């Protein structure tokens, strides 16, 4: 596995977006809607760097059916707070084709929030298939499949404290 971003580089990136988010919202309360499960680590680090009143809501989206290619997208809202009339910040791990973030934003819009903005840890270059981009992104990365800091391959590697590019040998090493 080849390290792409170290633990301290990741923390630096989260510091930067937290500062941008703070300057956009000031002391206005926000509701962070985190897309499970990939955004979990980013969520925990990000919200501890925000000083305005923060509510945390979860939404589930899954598009990767095991492998490294995109499958059917499923969204589950059973863990959502009421966001009507709230300023919502949707947080995800990575903006790849953008279909997940676009679908989740559409879903949140239907709940009548006051505003919706989006924040991702990673923005993968040259892969976008939708007509939107995240309002906040900590890092631009090349078009490679990455794991760690919340991101998985077949539900593994989320616990790595750094971000790594998955290599052929790592794929071969995953047993069911
Ligand atoms: P999108 O809908 O194509 O933008 O894909 C976004 C979702 O796919 C993210 O929430 C991730 O869960 C997953 N994903 C995309 N690229 C990667 C990757 O390189 N590693 C791990 N997961 C990824
Ligand atoms: Mg995900």
**122: in domain:** yes
**169: in domain:** no
Identify the CATH number of the domain in which residue 61 sits: 3.40.50.2020
**80: in domain:** yes
Distance of CA 127 to the CA centre of its chain: 16
**Sequential pLDDT tens for the chain (176 residues):** 999 999 999 999 999 999 999 999 999 999 999 999 999 999 999 999 999 999 999 999 987 555 666 667 889 998 999 999 999 999 999 999 999 999 999 999 999 999 999 999 999 989 999 999 999 999 999 999 999 999 999 999 999 999 999 998 888 877 66
Pocket-testing residue among 93, 150, 156, ligand 1, by greatest number of atoms within 8 A of Cβ: 93
**101: in domain:** yes
**Which atom of ligand 1 is closest in space to residue 145's alpha carbon?**
19
- 93 CA distance to ligand 2 middle (Å): 6
Shortest CA distance to 38 belongs to which of 159, 125, 152?
A: 152
Protein residue with least CA distance to atom 17, ligand 1: 145
Shortest CA distance to 99 belongs to which of 164, 35, 5?
A: 35
- Which residue range is the domain that position 58 belongs to? 7-141
**120: in domain:** yes
**162: in domain:** no
The DSSP line for 10-35 is: HHHHHHHHHHHHHHHHTT--EEEEEE
Active site residue 96: yes
Q: Look at residue 165 in the predicted model and tell me its pLDDT.
A: 97
**131: in domain:** yes
The reported pTM is: 0.94
Q: Which residues line the pocket of ligand 1, CB cutoff 6 A?
A: 35, 38, 63-64, 70, 92-100, 145-147, 151
**34: in domain:** yes
- 56 CA distance to ligand 2 middle (Å): 17
Sign of CA dihedral 121, 95, 148, 6: negative
Total number of domains constituting the chain: 1
Ion ligand 2 residue ranges (Cβ < 5 Å): 38
Q: Look at residue 136 in the predicted model and tell me its pLDDT.
A: 98
Pocket-testing residue among 62, 72, 100, 128, ligand 1, by greatest number of atoms within 8 A of Cβ: 100
Q: Please tell me which residue in 45, 96, 135, 152 is annotated as part of the active site.
A: 96
- 164 CA distance to ligand 1 middle (Å): 14
């Amino acid at each position: 596995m080849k390290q792409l971003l170290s633990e301290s580089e990741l923390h630096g990136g989260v510091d930067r977006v937290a500062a941008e988010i703070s300057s956009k919202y000031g002391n206005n309360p926000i509701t962070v809607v985190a897309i499970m499960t990939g955004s979990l680590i980013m969520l925990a680090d990000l919200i501890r760097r925000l000083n305005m009143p923060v509510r945390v809501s979860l939404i589930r989206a899954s598009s990767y059916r095991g492998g490294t290619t995109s499958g059917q997208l499923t969204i589950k809202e059973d863990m959502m707070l009421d966001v009507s009339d709230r300023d919502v910040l949707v947080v995800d791990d990575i903006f790849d084709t953008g279909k997940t973030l676009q679908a989740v934003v559409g879903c949140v819009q239907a709940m009548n929030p006051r505003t919706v903005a989006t924040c991702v840890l990673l923005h993968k270059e040259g892969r976008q298939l939708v007509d939107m981009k995240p309002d906040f992104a900590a890092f631009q990365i090349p078009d490679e499949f990455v794991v760690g800091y919340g991101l998985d391959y077949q539900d593994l590697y989320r616990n790595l404290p750094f971000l790594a590019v998955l290599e052929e040998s790592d794929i071969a090493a995953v047993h069911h």
